[in-house]
Amino acid sequence: MALAVAGCGRGGGPKAPTLDGVPATLASSPRPTSIRTRRSTPASPPTPGRARPSPPRCRSNSSYLGGRIAAYFDNLLAVSTTLGEMADLQRQGLPHKPEHLAFINRAVNTEPVGCAGPPGLRGWYADLFFDPNSALEFSPTIADVHTQPTDEGGTPVGHVLHVGTGWVRLMVTTVDSCAGPRAYAGVAFSYHEVVTDNLRRLDDKESATRFGPTSAPDDVSATYS
């Protein structure tokens, strides 16, 4: 920057010192944003190969969330490994080990939350959800599997076949084990089929509205024959 000192002008009167043509009293004002100055030399370019410093970032609870994610997938690996071992033994016609039967009995367990709260879900099935409490929510799944744009004569109909799950029901099945026929009881989702018109496709949220305390889509008779 060029600084001009006080001197005499053509009129003979003294001149106030200036800074690049701006009176020094203004240049030294505490509000420099209204004053523009020019550089005597251009700014030097950044050094090649040298990264510019990054702006500071806000710290978050990423370490806590990362720990939860790691624990979730560790548990998922353990559960999947045990179920894989049981499936392999069953495929070979071999009996399950005592620890496998104990594992099945730990699948679901309800425990009260607080003094008067609703029951909470515990067990390895609940741990398959990242938020175990969400395992208690009714969340049926539906998918469109076939589309019929027209009928046999070419008339547009727009039928869409959906298959989906519904309320949980008790299921009893018989298996020929190595010790003879055995009956097993457990819970399973009900199965439903829905056909819509005009190429209308349902999603999970819309499918859930079809279920009420005493209502549900019709059962598929072939499933329970």
- The half-sphere exposure of 45 on its side-chain side, counting CA atoms within 13 A, is 3
pTM to 2 decimal places: 0.55
Alpha carbons 17 and 25: distance in angstroms, whole number: 8
pLDDT category of residue 165 using cuts at 50, 70 and 90: very high
Q: What is the 3-state secondary structure (H, E, C) of 37-89?
A: CCCCCCCCCCCCCCCCCCCCCCCCCHHHHHHHHHHHHHHHHHHHHHHHHHHHH
125, 73 contact by CB (below 8 A): no
Write down the pLDDT at residue 24: 43
pLDDT in tens, 32-47: 444 444 454 555 555 5
Tens of pLDDT, residue by residue over 107-119, are 888 777 666 666 6
CA 110 – CA 123 distance, rounded (Å): 8
pLDDT of residue 45: 53
Angle at 102 between CA 97 and CA 104, to 5 degrees: 100
pLDDT in tens, 32-88: 444 444 454 555 555 554 555 555 554 456 787 888 899 999 999 999 999 999 999
